Each structure stands twice: as C-alpha cells, then as structure tokens.
Amino acid sequence: MKYINWKASARSGTLKTKEPASPAVQQPVFDFDEFTVGQLEFKISCLTYIIMSFIRKNIPVGLKIAGYYHKPAVSRGHKLRMLKDLALYGKNESIH
C-alpha cells in the first residue's frame, strides 16, 4: 500500500507504484592521492566536507589515505577515524 502512487493512479486510471531506491547503490571510496584539487589544506578541507555530507545523508563512504583503507560505513566511530586521518595527514606522527 505504501508504494502506490495514488495521484498518478487516479489520473491514469491504472495502478501506478513508486520504485524504492536501490539498496545496492555504489558506496563511494575517496582516494586521497587521486583527489586532485589544489593545495594540501584545500584538499583536506574538501574531503572533510564530502565525508561529512555523505555521513549526514546516511550514505556509506570510505577513504584511502597513507596506505590505509577505510571501508565504506556510516558510524560515528568510522567518521571520526577518517577525520582523524585527514587531520594528521603529513604530520610526523603515524596516523595509525
């Protein structure tokens, strides 16, 4: 019942249904080294914004950085690990 498009059905005289979004939507993984958008600070800022945007929309997102791979996910811990790796990138400290 919840997938029936009542307005379209009424106009056409035939039963019309809504198509649910595919759960198999590709989950993006951003590669820090392949992400080419200017200077280092701007690159980190852009990736931070993108990660935050995807997580807010509950879309799994992943990150490849400094030889480490974060599989796509949406948890708070996952988000914090990716943001920490971005924040520490290029520092003398190991990010892991």
Query: Does residue 78 form part of some domain?
Result: yes
**Mean pLDDT across the chain, nearest whole number?**
84
Query: Does residue 77 form part of some domain?
Result: yes
Total structural domains within the chain: 1
Range of the domain at 43: 22-88
Query: Does residue 67 form part of some domain?
Result: yes
- Residue 84 pLDDT: 94
| pLDDT tens digits for range 50-96 | 999 999 988 899 999 988 999 999 999 999 999 999 999 877 555 66
Give long-range contacts, CB 8 A cutoff, 24+ apart: 20-23. none
Question: Which pTM does this prediction carry?
Answer: 0.68
Query: Does residue 4 form part of some domain?
Result: no
Query: Does residue 5 form part of some domain?
Result: no
Over range 3-28, report the average pLDDT.
75
Query: Does residue 16 form part of some domain?
Result: no
Torsion of CA 52, 57, 63, 69, to 10 degrees: 130
Query: Does residue 75 form part of some domain?
Result: yes
- Residue 79 pLDDT: 95
- Residue 95 pLDDT: 61
